[in-house]
Amino acid sequence: MVRIGFTRRGALILTALVAVSAFAIACGGDDDDDGGGGGSGATLVAATVNCKDLGLTAPSRIKSAGKITVASDLSYAPIDFTKEGTNDPIGLDADIIKCIAQAWGVTAEIKNADFGSIIQGLKGKQSDIIMSAMSVNEERLKEVDFVEYFNAGSGILVKKGNPEKIKSIADLCGKQVAIQTGTVQIDEAKEQSGKCGDKKIDVKVFDQNTDAIQEVASGRAKAALMDYPVAAYNAKKVSGTEVVGEQYNTGPYGIAVRKDDGEVKTALQAAIKAMQAKGQYKTILQYWDLEAGAIK
C-alpha cells in the first residue's frame, strides 16, 4: 500500500489505492460477490456489511416503489464502476447506497448515466437521486440539493516517468489535457488556461473518464485531470501512467436530490449519520482504502 500526501487548506493524507479489481458490498448476503479494495488485487474478495440494524425509515415514495433508482456514471473507479466481466455496479458509491437501501427495506437500482447530462436526467425524474462522485459546487447547487458524504480533490495523471516534468496544474499551459465532460476539472482547466498567456491549455473532452486515461497512456495527451482518488487508483491499474503533484481544490462529494424532494434528502442525511454512528460508513471506506476522505 502506498500513501501519498496532499493538502486541504491544511494537511491530510490519502491512501493511494492498490491495484484491485472490484467490490460489491453484500449488505447482508451474496457470499459469492467479489471484492478487494485492500486485497492483493490478484482475485476479488467477498465482503459483507450488515445494514439492517440502522433503525431507518424509507421515504414514503421510495417505500411505495420498493426501490430507489440511482443515476451513476460507471466509468470512475474506484468510486463508480462495474465488476470485471459484468455490468454489475460496484465501488464506494454503490456500497453506500446499497447499505442505505437495505436499511430502508428496498432495493437500489443503479443505472449507468452520461455524466454530462446526469443532472438534467434527475430533474426529468429519470432517477430518484444521483450518486456519482459529484462534487458540490455553487453552479450545481442552483439546480439540485446535496447530501454530503465524502471529501476529495483533483489530481493529475501523466505518462509514467513524467516526461513533461508536470508538478501542478500550472505546468499544463501549452499542453494537451484530457478531461471527462461535465466534471469540475473542465472549469479548473479553463481557469488555469486564463493564466497561461499565449500558451493556453488544449483541453480534449471525453464522455468517459476511461477514455481520458487512455489518452495519457497512449501518449496522445500530456496529462488527464480527474478526482485524486480516481487518478491514484488508475495509476495502479493502467500501465504506463502515474500521479504527480498534490491533490488540490479538495471539497465534498454529494448525493444529488431534486429541490422538491425534501423527504428523500432528510432521509439520506439520517442514513449517512446512522452509518457513521454504527460503523458501516467507516468499514466501507476502509475497504476501498478511502478512509482519509471521510466526512466528520
In 3-state terms, the chain is what percent helix, strand and coil (to 5)?
30, 25, 40
Q: Residue 38 falls within a domain, yes or no?
A: no
**Structural element, H or E, at residue 203:** strand 202-206
Task: Read off the pLDDT band of 296 (50, 70, 90).
Answer: confident
Q: Residue 285 falls within a domain, yes or no?
A: no
d(CA 141, CA 46): 37
254 beta partners? 148
Over 80: is that where the pLDDT of 261 sits? Answer: yes
Q: Residue 28 falls within a domain, yes or no?
A: no
Q: Residue 160 falls within a domain, yes or no?
A: yes
pLDDT confidence of residue 15: 33
Q: Residue 24 falls within a domain, yes or no?
A: no
The rounded Cα 8 to chain-centroid distance in angstroms is 18
Q: Residue 12 falls within a domain, yes or no?
A: no
Q: Convert the pLDDT of each residue in 132-188 to its tens digit.
A: 999 999 999 999 999 999 999 999 999 999 999 999 999 999 999 999 999 999 999
What integer best gives the mean pLDDT of the chain?
86
Neighbours of 181 (CB within 10 A): 16
Mapping DSSP to helix (H, G, I), strand (E, B) and coil, where does residue 43 land? Answer: coil
pLDDT confidence of residue 20: 32
pLDDT confidence of residue 49: 83
Q: Residue 293 falls within a domain, yes or no?
A: no
pLDDT confidence of residue 24: 37
pLDDT confidence of residue 292: 83
Q: Convert the pLDDT of each residue in 228-253 to its tens digit.
A: 999 999 999 999 999 999 899 999 99
Q: Residue 157 falls within a domain, yes or no?
A: yes
Stated pTM of the model: 0.78
Query: What is the secondary structure of 135-187 as a DSSP string?
Result: BP-HHHHTT-EEEEEEEEEEEEEEETT-TT---SGGGGTTSEEEEETTSHHHH
d(CA 285, CA 91): 10
CATH number of the domain enclosing 187: 3.40.190.10
Burial class of residue 114 in the structure, from the number of CB atoms within 10 Å of its CB (0-12 exposed, 13-18 middle, 19+ buried): middle
Q: What is the DSSP letter of 78?
A: T
Over 80: is that where the pLDDT of 1 sits? Answer: no
Q: Convert the pLDDT of each residue in 72-107 to its tens digit.
A: 999 999 999 999 899 999 999 999 999 999 999 999
177 beta partners? 203, 223
Total structural domains within the chain: 1
Which residue has cell 426529468? 124
The parent domain of residue 212 ranges over: 153-250
